[in-house]
Amino acid sequence: MIGTGILKGMAVTARNFVGSYFDEERLTTVQYPEERSPLPENYRNFPFLPYDGEDPHAGLRCVACKICEKECPPQCIYIVKSDDKKPDYMGKPQFYPKVFDIDISVCMSCQICVEVCPFEAIKMDKEFELSKRERFDQLLLRKEDLAKPNDYYHKICPTDATDVDAKLAAAAEAAAKKKAATAARAPAKD
């Protein structure tokens, strides 16, 4: 009969509407911004740069290899490599980004920068309340805005952050063992 589908749909809506007064599970909306639904762990919007320890400069994992800048489809990453080097998490001297900007008004949240980074140095954030009056300066995020502690990464993505920590710790241990073995093989100096 014509219209049966509409009547069935209205019955479902009515059942859920009345039911939501008796069963909280049926409430699918919240009173934003006073109430917030928890975001799933794999939710993402724009990138950030995790750093280890307390110092964003010393702990920044990025070595300014520029792979993410080259691979970013809308070309919204801008990096200038440093002239000097600083030790990375394994104590190896590495370049670092003197400038690292991301224009988040252009970024399309594709996560390609994260996929291509060989150093676990860029990850996707969950911050979404970013509306601003001005595009330039307010939506162009600088290195200082993008750098966030590893503890923050653990808070927003505990599973991935724990995996990354284990991977970096294993790499650091392997490097330390290799260094010790090389030192043991080296001829003793008089």
Residues that bind ligand SF4 (CB under 6 A): 47, 62-68, 72-74, 76-77, 79, 102, 107-113, 117, 119, 121-122
- Rounded to a whole number of angstroms, the minimum distance from the CB of residue 30 to ligand SF4 is 27
- Rounded to a whole number of angstroms, the minimum distance from the CB of residue 111 to ligand SF4 is 5
DSSP state string for 75-142: --EEEEE-SS-EE-TTS-EE--EEEEEEETTT-----HHHHH-TTS--EE--------S-STTTTEE-
Q: How far apart are CA 130 and CA 109, in angstroms?
A: 14
If the CB atoms of residues 33 and 102 are measured against ligand SF4, the closer one turns out to be 102
- Rounded to a whole number of angstroms, the minimum distance from the CB of residue 84 to ligand SF4 is 16
If the CB atoms of residues 20 and 105 are measured against ligand SF4, the closer one turns out to be 105
Instruction: Look at the chain and count its residues.
Output: 190
Asked if residues 73 and 101 have their Cβ atoms less than 8 Å apart, the reply is no
If the CB atoms of residues 103 and 175 are measured against ligand SF4, the closer one turns out to be 103
- Rounded to a whole number of angstroms, the minimum distance from the CB of residue 149 to ligand SF4 is 16
If the CB atoms of residues 114 and 175 are measured against ligand SF4, the closer one turns out to be 114
Residue 78, both tokens:
């801008």
Asked if residues 88 and 77 have their Cβ atoms less than 8 Å apart, the reply is no
